[in-house]
Amino acid sequence: MEDLLQEFLLYLQVEKGLAKNTLLAYERDLKKLILFLQREKIKEFKDVDKNLLAGYLYFLRKNKEAPASIARQLASVRGFFKFLCMEEYVPIDPTVYLETPKLPQKLPQVLSEEEVDRLLAIPESLNPLILRDKAMLELIYATGMRVSELVNLTVQQINLDLGYVRCLGKGSKERIIPLGSKAAQSLQRYLEKSRPFLVKNPREDHLFLNHHGRGVSRQWFWKIIKKRANDVGINKEITPHTLRHSFATHLLSNGADLRSVQEMLGHTDVSTTQIYTHLTRNKLREIYLKTHPRA
């Protein structure tokens, strides 16, 4: 069973081009399934049926795993058995009739436009680290990039003359995102007055560097955002993804069409982007109740 798991992971890496973190998530999910099957004395995947997998989902619920975690693990199992069936390692796919747990729709946390202004209002400075932090914050809000996409940007992916960033998203899918003037100005200052002082190796092509001259990490940027939010008195639970959510919500609130926002976020399915329309509808209702004389 372990051999087939490794074959599946290689397929996802080579054929589907999935990122390392996604592959690790698949591996964790499916190793958990294999341990369950071994406890049930199952030695081959061809002996797995719908009832056994239903028992596995019950086992996960009994262990108090969150519905979102169970849904993700079931998606991993579905993908795996689809592969096994395609490669004729199993005669039928036992996941076909399994029901996916229903998840309550949780609206993402977003910042108001005023809160974003406060977060990004970093005083002018010649300090290379402050210039870098401001450029990163401006860029992630201006583009709605994922934090992993931001920290992995190279200098070659930025085109300030034409005003765009070439972003490599999930599965190495490329998309072009326009740059706003404020983000472009911050990037220009960073490239001219900060990065030359931070770079140690002339061949280092990461755009954003730490004080050792290497690319910054996601964890480090998470801390920067939390500290900055605390400094300006934003009491919401804020993460790098909060700025991605805010980017999408503010675009739609100000008249952008859903397909354009989908393209900029790099969502494969427009239904993923539609959650932000709920947020903008809630905002419209709030404005109506506050301003209509007979509301």
Any idea which residues carry the catalytic annotation?
146, 170, 241, 244, 267, 276
The answer to whether 252 and 270 are in contact (CB under 8 A) is no
The pair phi, psi for residue 159, each rounded to 5°, is -125, 95
- Spatial distance between the Cα atoms of 217 and 244, rounded to a whole number of angstroms: 18
Quote the CA–CA distance of 267 and 82 in Å, as a whole number: 23
Say how far apart CA 239 and CA 90 lie, in whole Å: 42
Which stretches does DSSP call E strand in the chain?
158-159, 164-168, 174-178
- C-alpha to C-alpha distance for 147 and 151, rounded to whole angstroms: 6
Answer whether 234's CB lies under 8 Å from 217's CB. no
